[in-house]
Amino acid sequence: MDDGLMIEVINLTKRYAGRTAIDGLTFSVRRGEIVGLLGPNGAGKSTTMRILACFMPASSGLARVAGRDVFTESIEVRRRIGYMPENNPLYLEMRVNEYLKFRARLKGLSRVRSRERVGVVMDQCGLADVNRTIIGHLSKGYRQRVGLADAMVHEPELLILDEPTLGLDPNQIRSVRQLIKSLGGRHTVLISTHMLPEVEMTCNYVLIMNEGRILAADQPQRLRASLCEGGQVVAEVAAPEAELRACWAGFPGVASFEICAADGEFLRCTLVSQDGLDLRSAVYDRVSARGWPLRELTRRQTSLEDVFVHLTRAEEEEA
């Protein structure tokens, strides 16, 4: 049963009346990984998560969590997951500790065990100072942490977090990300987001979704590398444009280049290299040999954002 796979999704499809939310989704997630589900709004991220959390069935296809089918062994799956839906719904009239204890009991923990675990997750999520506060009186950041604490309270094998940093301020986002990162290894985590930096910072595997399909699935670094084709070098040089053009045209290793005006007499040259070559030292040598003033020389790495734009655009062109 335990073949190291936490989530196994094969050909999963969900159709609402007149609309296909997810379309033949296939992917798998290994134990202990933090996986980011990335995509624009309406890509089918929430639908995928709701199916995995046993909230609704798929129209066709198979989804297994920890080797158990989410449809036929729903109770067993629900025991093993901690799910935090989008917008993090909570019972606003309850107190924090009361709510967490209630949730722990619902998830099958004994009275003693639930008291223990509630203490642990409250410390972990920084809720100790608000443990008697009514949830409705808490700020958004605290509520989000209550939601996270709830998802973790029964030590689930898999955490499914739908947009866990939605609507938080930058400091809160940072602390939530750190918390999620610290969960890796012990728990498997599936988070969805439409914010790319989040995935780059917290996840060790990315699934990029658009219009119900997976466009790419890999480690963030490798995704970047696959598209980066050696990357670009930007150099700001003060030189006559015609001479610059001639210089780059015959430059070994440059696939293409662009020149535009920067302020003053400087021109901004963007050079795209062949085969992943780092052109910086060669550029410096050439420019200094000619005696041109150089004030900037940087290598631009492709961000996931570029990967994302590239993939979704390619998709549009195909259509």
Chain positions contacting another protein, by CB under 8 A: 50, 53-57, 59, 71, 74-76, 78-79, 81, 83-85, 87, 89-94, 102-103, 105-108, 150
Nearer to another protein, 108 or 240 (CB): 108
Give min distance, CB of 262 to another protein, in A.
51
Nearer to another protein, 150 or 200 (CB): 150
Nearer to another protein, 189 or 244 (CB): 189
Nearer to another protein, 92 or 261 (CB): 92
CB 164 within 8 A of CB 202: no
Give min distance, CB of 260 to another protein, in A.
49
Return the number of other C-beta atoms located less than 10 Å from residue 132's C-beta.
Answer: 9
Query: Residue 153: which residues within 8 A CB-CB, separation 6 or more?
Result: 82, 100, 103, 104, 107, 109, 114, 117, 118, 121
291 conformational bin, left if phi > 0, alpha if psi -120 to 50, beta if neither:
left
Give min distance, CB of 90 to another protein, in A.
7
**27-62 residues labelled b (16+ CB within 10 A) or e (exposed):** bebebbbbbbbbbeeebbbbbbbbbbbbeeebeebe
Helix (H, G, I), strand (E, B) or coil at 60: strand
Give min distance, CB of 2 to another protein, in A.
20
Give min distance, CB of 148 to another protein, in A.
12
Nearer to another protein, 92 or 314 (CB): 92
